[in-house]
Amino acid sequence: MKITKLTTYRIPPRWMLLKIETDEGVTGWGEPVIEGKARTVEAAVHEYAPYLVGQDPSRINDLWQMMYRAGFYRGGAILMSAIAGIDQALWDIKGKVLGVPVYQLLGGLVRDKMKTYSWVGGDRPADVIEGMRRLREAGFDTFKMNGTEELGIIDSARKVDQAVQRVAEIRSAFGDAVEFGLDFHGRVAAPMAKVLLRELEPFRPLFVEEPVLAEQYEVYRALADHTAIPLAAGERMYSRFEFKHVFQQGGLSIVQPDLSHAGGITECLKIAAMAEAYDIALAPHCPLGPVALASCLQVDFVSHNAVLQEQSMGIHYNQGGEVLDYVKNKEDFKLTNGYIQPLPKPGLGVEIDEERVIEASRNAPDWRNPVWRHEDGSIAEW
Ligand SMILES: [Mg+2]
């Protein structure tokens, strides 16, 4: 079998799908994308295409190493996302050829169902109580929300109080019937992270995500020494070579590699295994589309340390397209009390509605990250 063609489709709300075709008629789907840089990743995918066409798609390990190493320059959000989507599509092909779900090829299930959580409250967190109330009716008891709006390197007691108040209201409304993670989204710098973690600790959030930016990873250890709240990060780390620094240094309780950003299934399995050796949990990042989610689930279902799966149904970013819009086998993605079952179909387990994808790709808008500024006009982390 040989790879014959790579086709990319940018689709709303901010995703990209990749179709890899073979000379034997089996096709695989991947989701190579960086939110806000879909065209850049698309160009990278097409730069890899000449290296892939004519190759045997079953040699995923070799093709991965070729993409990673043969280009000399490597790593980073764009290249590792391009590799990620290609890798996913190759696993999809392999599973379809052999007639089994990918998790069977990876040694089989370690659990019967996987816990997911739902986003609540939007970019600038608001109406969290009402949102949780609605989502609880849909069966969710675990949530994630942004912890703060823009925050200065040193900021006011008023901003701290707002963040703490929001969390206090959740506990007073629902007691311990809900769990929630707080995403600092890299908006918080080290000095305020210390303040916020101390103030938030009495409300026992499940975790705090990106308490500071990944490029300040050396701070994680110091923060962890000072709080009992589990710290999570990893959506902006792109390979095991980056994750090794946080494993070596300590500080994180949960790693969150993104299956569409960190080299795909092949690489994230290795990151998951490294994390297990350090007693660190896995919670793959996934505010993306259906192929990314299906890929995350393949890793979750074979990783003992996988604890939570993010998914973007109803997330605030999804304007003009929802996860299941492009999926034919919607019933396989049904959530029961926040849990999802192993996807039963061969390959990644997602049947893409190609006609719908092609149609949607015709006028796909370019999603762009918002630009936030502090009150003094300087750029704020979003
Ligand atoms: Mg995040």
What are the distances in angstroms from CA 379 to CA 124, 139, 176, 216?
A: 16, 39, 37, 18
Taking the C-alpha atoms of residue 322 and residue 38, their distance in angstroms, rounded to an integer, is: 17
Taking the C-alpha atoms of residue 217 and residue 225, their distance in angstroms, rounded to an integer, is: 14
Pairing of strands 3-11, 15-22: antiparallel
Cis peptide before 211 (omega within 30 of 0): no
318 pLDDT higher than 90: no
DSSP 5: E
**Confidence label for 103 from pLDDT (cuts 50, 70 and 90):** very high
319 pLDDT higher than 80: no
Nearest to 17 by CA among 348, 250, 361, 273: 361
What are the distances in angstroms from CA 90 to CA 108, 239, 242, 318?
A: 19, 18, 24, 27
CA of 236 from ligand 1 middle (Å) equals 9
**Is 69 within 8 Å of 245 (Cβ atoms)?**
no
Homologous superfamily, domain 3-101: Enolase-like, N-terminal domain (3.30.390.10)
Mean pLDDT on 257-261? 98
DSSP 263: S
Question: Which residues have C-beta under 5 Å from ligand 1, the single-atom ion?
Answer: 183, 209
Taking the C-alpha atoms of residue 249 and residue 84, their distance in angstroms, rounded to an integer, is: 26
**Is 32 within 8 Å of 92 (Cβ atoms)?**
no
- SS3 category, 293: helix
**Confidence label for 320 from pLDDT (cuts 50, 70 and 90):** confident
Structure confidence at residue 27 (pLDDT)? 98
CA of 286 from ligand 1 middle (Å) equals 9
CA atoms within 13 A on the CB side of 117: 23
35 pLDDT higher than 80: yes
Nearest to 268 by CA among 221, 220, 246, 235: 235
Say what angle helices 76-98 and 38-52 make with each other, to 10 degrees: 50
**Confidence label for 121 from pLDDT (cuts 50, 70 and 90):** confident
**What residues are designated binding site?**
183, 209, 235
Mean of the per-residue pLDDT values of the chain: 96
Q: Hey, which residues are catalytic here?
A: 185, 285
Q: List the end-to-end C-alpha distance of the chain, in Å, as a whole number.
A: 45
Which tokens in the block code for residue 188?
């918080």
The fold adopted by the segment(s) 104-346 is TIM Barrel (3.20.20)
**What residues are designated binding site for Mg(2+)?**
183, 209, 235
CA of 311 from ligand 1 middle (Å) equals 12
The string of pLDDT tens digits covering residues 206-251 is 999 999 999 999 999 999 999 999 999 999 999 999 999 999 999 9
**Is 193 within 8 Å of 222 (Cβ atoms)?**
no
CA of 185 from ligand 1 middle (Å) equals 5
Q: What's this model's pTM, rounded to 2 decimal places?
A: 0.97
364 pLDDT higher than 80: yes
Taking the C-alpha atoms of residue 263 and residue 270, their distance in angstroms, rounded to an integer, is: 10
**Confidence label for 127 from pLDDT (cuts 50, 70 and 90):** confident
Taking the C-alpha atoms of residue 380 and residue 326, their distance in angstroms, rounded to an integer, is: 34
CA of 210 from ligand 1 middle (Å) equals 6
Which tokens in the block code for residue 270?
């290795």
CA of 77 from ligand 1 middle (Å) equals 15
CA of 46 from ligand 1 middle (Å) equals 28
Mean pLDDT on 134-139? 90
**Is 26 within 8 Å of 375 (Cβ atoms)?**
no
Per domain, the residue ranges of the chain are 3-101, 104-346
CA of 34 from ligand 1 middle (Å) equals 13
24 pLDDT higher than 90: yes
Q: Checking phi first, is residue 211 left (phi over 0); if not, alpha (psi -120 to 50) or beta?
A: alpha
Which residues neighbour 17 within 8 Å (Cβ) at sequence distance 6 or greater?
8, 9, 11, 29, 30, 31, 289, 291, 326, 352, 357
Taking the C-alpha atoms of residue 348 and residue 272, their distance in angstroms, rounded to an integer, is: 18
CA angle, 317 then 321 then 323, to 5°: 85
Q: How many CB atoms lie within 10 A of CB 161?
A: 12
